[in-house]
Amino acid sequence: MKLNTFSKVVTLAATLGITVTAADAAERVLKIQTSANASHASMAYLNEVWIPKLDEMTGGSLSLELLPVDAVVPRRETPQAIGVGILDGDLTSINYFAGIDPAFALMGDLIAGYDSADQIQAFCAQGGGKEMLQKLFDAHFEGVHVVGCGAYAREAFVSKVPVNGVADLKGLKIRSPEGLAADVFKRAGAAPVSMSGSETYGALEKGVIDAADNSAYANNDANGMHKVAKYPIFPGIHSTPILQFTVSDAVWDEIGPANRVALETWYLAAYNGLRQYFDRLDRQLVARDKAAGDITVIDWKQEERDKLRAIAVEAWEDFAKGSDLARETYEAHLKFMREAGLL
């Protein structure tokens, strides 16, 4: 069943002073709300390196304006805003919509499932992930077209206290997105706390939380997380979140065939570049911090990673029981992982 959110979003548009009108087809700049803070290294990289490339690819007929999380609408409301034209699209975490259907949780991050962002990009582009995500949107939201999905980094857990294995998670207050990640942490004995990424630094500083499932090591560094949470875990133990790139059906129709191909091609290239950039940058920063000695970078032993994965597998199976689409999403992951030799 579609969510009946049109009236709420139109009311929000009126409150914000935004008029929902047909866009000018010439020299089109699409307003895309992201799940990144303005200070994120990922935002800077895309703006500096890849937005100009889209301008070049389309001869200046199409460009993107990337907006930080919550800039126009709350982070969970981007699909509704896209459907009625308040936003042209989003480049955001699929996990935000886990409360709509457990399928979004499984699509957004198969916690402790994949070994790398590269594997997830392959799942989205060649393994049926993009098509599965479109099916979820068609079932729950009006007027949203999936351009692509993918991941660019394994998240580096940040903590104010040493966490050397699964046993150390017990009782820990952890900022975590809703859905599967929160469920896995809860099963491991932690106390998940839901909050926006923009609130995480203050919550760590004030002791509201002890640790955070937050972002890539480089983004955490840029946001100053390691000033207050000096025991990061790298490589990450749990999360390689999948982000979606969507636009409205109206925008997709409007931009024409050549720009559609350009936008899909641009996204695949940009996210591959982003993955390579973050892998290198994360490792450079970890080496710097280890040498400086002020931060203790923790690398879990494989046996501890295996323990967390066993907990996560139980959560995958339970979430798959939540809806028919959740079961289908779960099976799509398993099919790809088996074919890729990951299971």
Using an 8 Å Cβ cutoff, are 200 and 214 in contact? yes
Q: Is residue 66 part of a domain?
A: yes
Q: Do residues 65 and 180 share a domain?
A: no
Domain holding 166, by residue range, is 158-237+297-323
Q: Do residues 249 and 130 share a domain?
A: yes
Q: Is residue 50 part of a domain?
A: yes
Using an 8 Å Cβ cutoff, are 163 and 237 in contact? no
pLDDT for the residue 100: 95
pLDDT for the residue 18: 38
Q: Do residues 169 and 232 share a domain?
A: yes
Q: What does the pLDDT look like over 105-133, one tens digit per residue?
A: 999 999 988 888 999 999 999 999 999 99
Q: Do residues 45 and 92 share a domain?
A: yes
Q: Do residues 244 and 231 share a domain?
A: no
Q: Is residue 70 part of a domain?
A: yes
Q: Do residues 224 and 266 share a domain?
A: no
Q: Is residue 343 part of a domain?
A: no
Q: How confident is the model at residue 25 (pLDDT cuts 50, 70, 90)?
A: very low
Domain count, the chain: 2
Distance of CA 325 to the CA centre of its chain: 20
pLDDT for the residue 319: 95
- List all residues 6 or more positions away from 13 whose beta carbon is below 8 Å from its beta carbon: 19, 20, 81, 84, 86
State yes or no: pLDDT of 41 exceeds 50: yes
pLDDT for the residue 27: 84
Average pLDDT over residues 174-197: 89
Q: Do residues 76 and 222 share a domain?
A: no
Q: What does the pLDDT look like over 187-232, one tens digit per residue?
A: 999 999 988 777 899 999 999 999 998 888 988 998 899 999 999 9
Q: Do residues 59 and 123 share a domain?
A: yes
Q: Is residue 333 part of a domain?
A: no
Q: Do residues 171 and 56 share a domain?
A: no
pLDDT for the residue 251: 98
* pTM score of the predicted model: 0.82
Q: Do residues 79 and 170 share a domain?
A: no
Q: Do residues 130 and 274 share a domain?
A: yes
Which letter does DSSP use for residue 216 in this model?
Answer: -
Using an 8 Å Cβ cutoff, are 342 and 119 in contact? yes
Q: Do residues 191 and 107 share a domain?
A: no
Q: Is residue 94 part of a domain?
A: yes
CATH of the domain at 251: 3.40.190.170
Q: Is residue 17 part of a domain?
A: no
Mean pLDDT of the chain: 90
